[in-house]
A and B are shown apart, each in its own frame.
Chain A
Amino acid sequence: GEDVEQSLFLSVREGDSSVINCTYTDSSSTYLYWYKQEPGAGLQLLTYIFSNMDMKQDQRLTVLLNKKDKHLSLRIADTQTGDSAIYFCAEYTYSSASKIIFGSGTRLSIRP
């Protein structure tokens, strides 16, 4: 079956890099996503990566995909207070037909 796992919490110092990790089980995953949710708000698509890619960079965000280990990570460089949010990893697979499966979310908090 499909499952997406993330650690629940991450605390980093302002200015440091944050690395949020995710593992998934379905090897037929085609798209893997990172969504951001600020308190009381909706889900903002941050970035996504196709399963035939190893890495994608977009400004301060770097996504790394290790397909062999079914491991996805999101690195946020120079973390700012505005990055405080819950970050959801998600996957879309052909086996899940027409839906995206979300992880439980990682709450990122920033220390001064």
Chain B
Amino acid sequence: SAVISQKPSRDICQRGTSLTIQCQVDSQVTMMFWYRQQPGQSLTLIATANQGSEATYESGFVIDKFPISRPNLTFSTLTVSNMSPEDSSIYLCSTDRGNTEAFFGQGTRLTVV
């Protein structure tokens, strides 16, 4: 299995500011994924991050709003930029082992006020 440490676990931010969420994996992984989960809802994929290349964003998500870094095979960050209350959500990073089970970070509960 893979262990993913995600931080911060929660934050309350002012609108117009940005927050960077970090995920550290205990082993090297090829793909990392960033999801958003509204309370009581399912997981929506934001983007897929490969090491050494630009992230691939899903429909409705853009790089200017959610820049992602993937500097090496064990680490990734997601920034939520110019936040508004609509960005309040839980953000989760995950990885998998060759398209088998996915391992998730503990999640970041973001509240924008």
Asked if A and B bind, the verdict is no
Measuring CB to CB, which residues of chain B are less than 8 angstroms from any residue of chain A?
Answer: none
